[in-house]
Amino acid sequence: MHRQGPWRVGSCVLLAGLVACALQWGPSEPEGRHRTAAVEGAGQRIGSEACAACHASFADHFAFSEAHPDCESCHGPGQLHDYTARAADIRFPSSEDCAACHGTRSTTLLGWTHSPHARADVLCSDCHDTHNRELWNLRPADAVQTAVFRNADPATQLCASCHPGVRAQFDLPSRHPLGEGMLGCTDCHEPHASRRQTLGAATRRCLECHQEVAGPWIYEHPPVTEDCSYCHTPHGASADFLLETSQPAACISCHSLPIAGAVHQPYAFTTACTDCHNAVHGSYADPHLRK
């Protein structure tokens, strides 16, 4: 059995230290992030042609439309920035700016305000770049991230650049084939909302692809009806079939009871519980889930 005391004490000390840090030190401008607040004294509009004089690299990537008619419709007046050439003197659109139009035109952003990304200060422009021509104006991952997840789809490469721990799980022996480009993160995850906001039970998203385990069965396995994650982990696992815990440990963590009067017939024991109980998700013929 494990000793949990030191772990708990350490965790409490760590949290207390973080709170102390937060109280002790004052604000600072985030490293590498652009300002989204309005610029005081930004001056007048100067027109997109004036912007292109310096930002020539964007010249091939402007994607102006009725919604984005020119640079300053999103970045605000550029007169001060044109004079100082300081990044701090131009604003970048906040997520609220984007949501003002996109939030009412589709269901995509219905849950954005309450999503983990929004609460972690992730901006729309961290993933989308209206200057490029990718689908959904998706910002490409940097070249190194593309190299380490080469066959994944572009959106998945972008997710992996901020979530390297999740990326690492797709190298494990059992995994959903994202690294091979078969699936992408957004096939399961909604980046504009949270898991808590997903309507329906936890199995709903899994059953959109795995209808063959949805039933309805006659003889059910109760955990299957509640939450796939009782047994499976979605990204990657050591054990086959994305089992979080390999057999027999996965099964006997629940099924350790002595059944009154039960005697197995003289069946050969092979290598896994599912050698016999192969209809583990549910059955139409056998209450013991053997076929």
Select the span of 38-46, 73-81, 86-94, 264-272 touching another protein (CB under 8 A): 264-272
Total number of residues binding another protein (CB under 8 A)?
Answer: 132
Q: What DSSP string describes 51-103? A: HHHH-GGGTTT----SSS-STHHHH---HHHHHH--GGGS----HHHHHHHHT
Give the span between the Cα atoms of 68 and 101, in whole angstroms.
11
Does position 246 bind another protein by CB under 8 A? yes
Q: Of 58, 67, 78, whose CA–CA distance to 104 is shortest?
A: 67
Q: What is residue 220's three-state secondary structure?
A: strand
DSSP assigned state of 282: E
Select the span of 39-47, 78-86, 87-95, 271-279 touching another protein (CB under 8 A): 271-279
Residue 90 or 243 with smaller CB distance to another protein: 243
Q: In this chain, which of 43, 92, 111, 128 binds another protein, going by CB under 8 A? A: 111
Residue 79 or 146 with smaller CB distance to another protein: 146
42-61 residues in contact with another protein (CB under 8 A) are 59-60
Does position 88 bind another protein by CB under 8 A? no
20-39 residues in contact with another protein (CB under 8 A) are 21-32
Beta-carbon contacts of 117 under 8 Å, excluding residues fewer than 6 positions away, are 191, 192
Give the span between the Cα atoms of 159 and 148, in whole angstroms.
13
Q: In this chain, which of 110, 140, 186, 234 binds another protein, going by CB under 8 A? A: 110
Q: In this chain, which of 74, 129, 230, 232 binds another protein, going by CB under 8 A? A: 230
Give the span between the Cα atoms of 248 and 7, in whole angstroms.
28
Q: How far is the CB of 44 from another protein (least distance, A)?
A: 23
Q: What is residue 212's three-state secondary structure?
A: helix
Select the span of 39-47, 73-81, 83-91, 101-109 touching another protein (CB under 8 A): 101-109
Does position 103 bind another protein by CB under 8 A? yes
Does position 116 bind another protein by CB under 8 A? no
User: Pattern of binders to another protein over 129-168, x per CB under 8 A?
Assistant: ----x-xx-----xxxxxxx-xx-x----------xx-xx
Residue 45 or 277 with smaller CB distance to another protein: 277
Q: How far is the CB of 213 from another protein (least distance, A)?
A: 9
Q: What DSSP string describes 29-50? A: PPTTPPP-SPPTT------HHH
Does position 4 bind another protein by CB under 8 A? yes
179-218 residues in contact with another protein (CB under 8 A) are 179-183, 196-201, 204, 211-212, 214-218
Q: Find out whether 165 and 133 touch, Cβ atoms under 8 Å.
A: no
Residue 1 or 85 with smaller CB distance to another protein: 1
Q: Of 52, 73, 72, whose CA–CA distance to 61 is shortest?
A: 52
Does position 41 bind another protein by CB under 8 A? no
Q: What is residue 199's three-state secondary structure?
A: coil
* Residue 174: strand pairing partners: 237
φ, ψ at 220 (rounded to 5°): -100, 160
Residue 44 or 253 with smaller CB distance to another protein: 253
* Residue 232: strand pairing partners: 243
